[in-house]
Structure 1
Amino acid sequence: MHLLGRHRTTVVGGAMAFAVLTPAAIVPATSAHAATTITVAADGSGNYTTVQTALAAASSGTVINIKPGTYHGQVSISSGKSGITLQGTTGNSADIVITGSTPASTAGTAGSATVLNSAKDTTVKGLTIANTYAAHDSQALALYAGGDRQVYRNVRLLGYQDTFLSWGGTGSSQVRQYVYKSYIEGAVDFIYGNGALVIDSTTIRSLDRGSTNNGYITAAATNAANPYGILITRSTLTSSAAARTVALGRCWHAGGAADAIGQVLVRDSTLGGHIRQAGAWQDMGGFSWRTCRFSEYGNSGAGASTGTGDRPQLSSATAANYTAQRYLAGSDGWNPVQ
C-alpha cells in the first residue's frame, strides 16, 4: 500500500428593496427548495447513460437515480458536489454495479478507486462498487471515501487489496462515514484509513487466499489527536478460509508517522472461525501492533476470543464511551445511526 508511503512487509449589502407579487408570480415555497432528480440508465431510457456525466450535470443536493445495469469506468464526486445522493432504483444492490479494474501500481491510490467520493453530506445506497483488478499484486480500491458526513446504506463494496479507504484530516478535520446494512469483501487491509468510520449491521467477508495467512481485515492509521478510528459493530465477519487464518487488523503507521496510532474496536459482532486467536492483531512496517489502539467487546461466534490469544477486551464502563454515536458526533453532533 503506497498511500503516504505506507510500508509493506511483502490523503447585497445595502438598501432593502420591496416588490409587489401578482398571483401569477407567487411560487409555492416548497418548489424553491425541491431537490433536483435525474436518472441514469445504460439503455438510454434516463437523462444520462453514465454516472459520471450525471454527476457533471448535478449541483449540490441533486438526487441521482440509477437504473439496473453494469456501469464501467471510474466515478468521481468532487468536493464541490455536497449533498449528492446516488441511489439504485430497485433496492437490490446487486442490480446496479459500478465497476473498474485499475490498480494503484499504475494510477496511484486515489486513481485506482472505482468511486472517489470527496464530497461532504453524500448518501450512497442500493448499489455495488467493485474493483475487479485480478493480479492481486497492488492495492486496487473500490471506494475512496474522502469527505465528511458520508452515509452508505445497502451497498456492496467488492475488492481484494485495500477495498475501502476512509481518509482525510486529523483532529477536528477528521472525516466521518457511516456504513449500514451493507457488504464488504476483500483479503488484505480491505477496510483502512484515518477517518472515523462506523460499519454497522454489515457482513464483512474475508476472501480465501489458500494460505495459512489469509490476510487482514483492517489497517487503521488514526491520528493520535483522534480518539475514534474504525468501529465494527453489530456485524458478521465471515469467510470460507481455513480456521484461525485471518487477522482482525494490523497497525499502519502511515508514512512511518509515529503519531499514526490506529484505533479499531470490534464490538457486539459475530466472528467466524476464520479469525485468529493468537495473532488476531498484527505488526506492520516494523511497528508493533501494541503501538496502536486495538480492542474488542461483547463479540460472539467461533472466532470470538477464548481468552487464550492476545485479544484486548474493553470493560463495560469503557465500552459505554465507544458507541457508534460517539465515533460520529464530532463537534456538530452528527448522528446518522439507525
Structure 2
Amino acid sequence: MGTVIWKVALDGSGDFKTVQEAIDAVPLGNTCRTLIRVSPGIYQQPLYVPKTKNFITLAGLRPEITVLTWNNTATKIDHHQASRVIGTGTFGCGSTIVEGEDFIAENITFENSAPKGSGQAVAIRVTADRCAFYNCRFLGWQDTLYLHYGRQYLKDCYIEGSVDFIFGNSTALLEHCHIHCKSAGFITAQSRKSSQETTGYIFLRCVITGNGETSYACLGRPWGPFGRVVYAYTFMDACVKHCGWDNWGKTENERSACFYEYRCYGPGSCPSKRVTWARELLDDEVEQFLMHSFIDSDPERPWLAQRMALRIPYSA
C-alpha cells in the first residue's frame, strides 16, 4: 500500500480541522505511512500519538507559521486522554506526546506556552523508536524537549529553554541544530542509568546561543548517574559557563557521568577550565559518536537511508 495523504486546516478546507482528529483516524496497528499535511495556523490543543499508531508524518510548510501548542505543566494537566494513558507529572504534561514508532515531523513548531516560572512544562515527549524531526522548532522554558526513550534523529532544528530543556534516556543524534539558552540553567539532563545502556545525546555541528548575558548555562547535568552527552564541532557562545558541566549536587556522579566535547569553538568553549571529570575526546575515541550508526547501529536492520545527502527513515 502507498502513503495515505490527509490535510488538516483550521478553516475547514481540509480533511480535518484538528491534528488530533487526523491522528485519531489512523487505524491502530497501521503498516503504511500516513502523511498529515498541516496547513498554516496556531493549533491550540494537546496531541497524543498512541502506541501502535506508527508511520505518521506531520508536515508543515514552515515551522514559524505551523504551531502545535498547549500549556500543561507537571502540576496542572488538562488533556483529552486520561492520566492512566498519558501519565502524570512531567511525563504526562507534554503538549505533544508521541508513543507511535517511526514518527516523522518536518517544518512544525512544538510549543509549551506555559510562562517562565511554571516549572516542568514539556513541549514534546517522544517515547518511541525510529523518530525523525527536520527543520522543527521546540519552544518552552523548563523541560522543553523530552527525548524519553527510543532512537531519534533531529536535523536543522531549533530548541530553546532554560532548565534541563533536552532530557530523558533516549539515543539521539542532533545534527546542525540551534540550541538557545533563554535563562540560567542546564541544556541537557540525560538519564542513562548504567554503563551497559547504549543511550546518550550527540550534538554534531550545532550552535549554542544565549540572551546576551555571559556564563549562566551549563552544557548538562546527569539526571541518571551515567548520563552521556557529547558536543562535537559545536559553536558555544558566551552564555556557556567555563566549568561547562554540573554534577547535580552529587560528587559520586562525577565517577560515572560521561560528558565529552570534541573540537568545539566559540567563547563558551574553554577546555582548560572545564570540570576535571568531563573531558575532550581523542580522535580515535570520537569516531563512534560522529557516525549516524550511533542511532542506527544494526547494519542488518538499518532505519536511516541516505538520500540526497540527507538521512531519511526507510519507512518514509
Structure 1 range deviating more: 59-68 or 283-292 = 283-292
Matches within 5 A, 1:76-225: 76-88=48-60, 90=61, 92-107=62-77, 108-168=89-149, 175-208=150-183, 214-224=184-194, 225=196
Aligned: 1:329 with 2:290: no
Q: Shift of the alpha carbon at 1:241?
A: 4.4
SS at match of 1:45: coil
Q: Shift of the alpha carbon at 1:152?
A: 0.4
User: What residue in structure 1 maps to residue 287 of structure 2?
Assistant: 320
**Number of equivalences:** 286
Aligned: 1:298 with 2:258: no
Aligned: 1:45 with 2:13: yes
Consecutive unaligned residues of structure 1, counting only runs of 5 or more, are 1-32, 169-174, 209-213, 254-259
Quick one: which of 242, 257, 261 aligns to 1:277?
A: 242
Structure 1 range deviating more: 39-48 or 219-228 = 219-228
Query: Highest relative contact order (Cα 8 Å, sep 6+), 1 or 2?
Result: 1
The residue identity in structure 2 corresponding to 1:57 is A
Distance 1:113 1:312, change over 3 A: same
Q: Calculate the aligned-residue CA RMSD, in Å.
A: 1.6
Structure 1 range deviating more: 150-159 or 305-314 = 305-314
How far apart are the structure 2 equivalents of 1:202 and 1:194? Answer: 19
Instruction: Work out the percentage of aligned pairs sharing the same amino acid.
Output: 27
Runs (4 or more) in structure 1 with deviation over 6 Å come to none
Q: Shift of the alpha carbon at 1:125?
A: 0.6
User: What residue in structure 1 maps to residue 43 of structure 2?
Assistant: 71
SS at match of 2:203: strand
**Greater fraction of residues in strand:** 2
Q: Shift of the alpha carbon at 1:323?
A: 1.8
SS at match of 2:106: strand
Alignment deviations for residues 142-197 of structure 1 (CA, whole Å, 9 cap, x no partner): 010110000000100001000011113xxxxxx10000001000000000111001
TM-score normalised by structure 2 residue count: 0.86
SS at match of 2:10: coil
Q: Shift of the alpha carbon at 1:137?
A: 3.7
Tell me if the contact between 2:135 and 2:155 (Cα under 8 Å) persists in the aligned partners: yes
Distance 1:271 1:135, change over 3 A: closer
User: What residue in structure 1 maps to residue 83 of structure 2?
Assistant: none
Tell me if the contact between 1:154 and 1:182 (Cα under 8 Å) persists in the aligned partners: yes
Tell me if the contact between 1:264 and 1:294 (Cα under 8 Å) persists in the aligned partners: yes
Q: Shift of the alpha carbon at 1:243?
A: 1.4
